[in-house]
Amino acid sequence: MTIIDRFRLDGKVAVITGASSGLGRGFAQALSEAGAAVVLGARREDSLTEVAKGISAGGGAVVARRTDVTDPQDCAVLARAATDAYGRLDILVNNAGIGTAVPALRETPEEFRGVIEVNLLGAFWMAQACARLMSPGSSIVNVASVLALVKSYAPQAAYAASKAALIGLTRDLSQQWTDRKGIRVNAIAPGYFESKMTAATDQDKLSAFIDQTASIKRFGRQHELDAAVVFLASDAAAYITGATLAVDGGMSTH
């Protein structure tokens, strides 16, 4: 096997949450291009169907299921959709996430809990459901955030807390599952990428923040994050577990 072959995902099956738009849509396409059959989950069924049709039209194997990751039963159904359709489950990309930008003294219990329910608990329910079906050699990639590592330009207590907790969850699940079950568990911590979420922010303020704090003074691009996800999902990363890979243009090194 050549080094390039180790990055291939042929014959593997990947579940991606939050796959109906944004970064998740890109991850789904990238994993498919790397050779994996993909099983997509998200709450927005129309957008999810559109993504699935695009992958299928490009020759990829794809299944899509409407999924609310805050419901453990929904998570179990999505995991089983992979084994029902393809007989196996090798990769989980825990991408589903939401965020708020509310000053801490004005953030309501409902707003804070809502972010934790999706970003942290949803990731745990999905990891739990998939780990029950995965074989040794499988990989879980949790999508955290640079805001788990550094301060934000805006008030985001719930989001930052949820993503920092996700990194802690990554370490613990790696400790529990890598040796005993052969499942590697890692995280990526994206910086600011071109997406609908960043497009909805104050562009001048965000650009100024990136310029002040990052070594690569621009937004990240989807393919740059896709490469990190494919790497951690693949056999090229077979000796990496419990790690958080910052893909942030150097922001977390300042």
Looking at the annotation, which residues are catalytic? Answer: 159
Residues 6+ apart with CB under 8 A from 153: 205, 206, 209
Residues 6+ apart with CB under 8 A from 129: 72, 75, 76, 78, 79
Nearest of 189, 205, 203 to residue 247 by alpha carbon: 189
Residue 95 tokens, joined: 């991408």
* Rounded-to-integer distance, Cα 131 and Cα 151, Å: 32
Strand ordering across the sheet containing 91-94: 62-66, 37-42, 13-17, 91-94, 139-143, 184-190, 244-247
Bridge partners of 237, per DSSP, are: none
